[in-house]
C-alpha cells in the first residue's frame, strides 16, 4: 500500500514539473526551480526508502531468529 502512495506522489511531482515547463515561465527560472524541487524531494524520499528497507531487513532477520 505504501508503494502506491509513493508512486502517486512521484506522478504528482513529475506532473507539476511538466506543467511548470510548459507554462510561460522563463526557462532559466524553470530549470532552477526544478533542480531545487528535485533535490528537496530527494532529501525527503531517499531516507524514507532507506529506513523502510532497513526495517524490512531487520523484520525478516528477527522472524528467522524466532523460528529457531
Write out pLDDT tens, residues 7-64. Answer: 998 899 899 999 999 999 999 999 999 999 989 989 998 998 899 899 988 887 666 6
Whole-angstrom Cα distance, residue 17 to residue 3? 21
Whole-angstrom Cα distance, residue 68 to residue 62? 11
Q: pTM here?
A: 0.62
Based on the number of CB atoms within 10 Å of its own CB, is 29 exposed (0-12), middle (13-18) or buried (19 or more)? exposed
Based on the number of CB atoms within 10 Å of its own CB, is 20 exposed (0-12), middle (13-18) or buried (19 or more)? middle
Cell 533542480 sits at which residue?
Answer: 35
Amino acid at each position: 500500500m505504501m508503494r502506491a502512495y509513493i508512486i502517486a506522489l512521484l506522478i504528482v511531482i513529475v506532473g507539476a514539473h511538466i506543467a511548470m515547463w510548459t507554462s510561460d515561465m522563463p526557462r532559466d527560472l524553470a530549470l532552477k526551480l526544478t533542480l531545487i524541487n528535485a533535490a528537496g524531494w530527494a532529501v525527503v524520499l531517499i531516507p524514507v526508502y532507506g529506513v523502510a528497507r532497513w526495517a524490512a531487513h531487520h523484520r525478516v532477520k528477527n522472524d528467522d531468529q524466532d523460528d529457531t
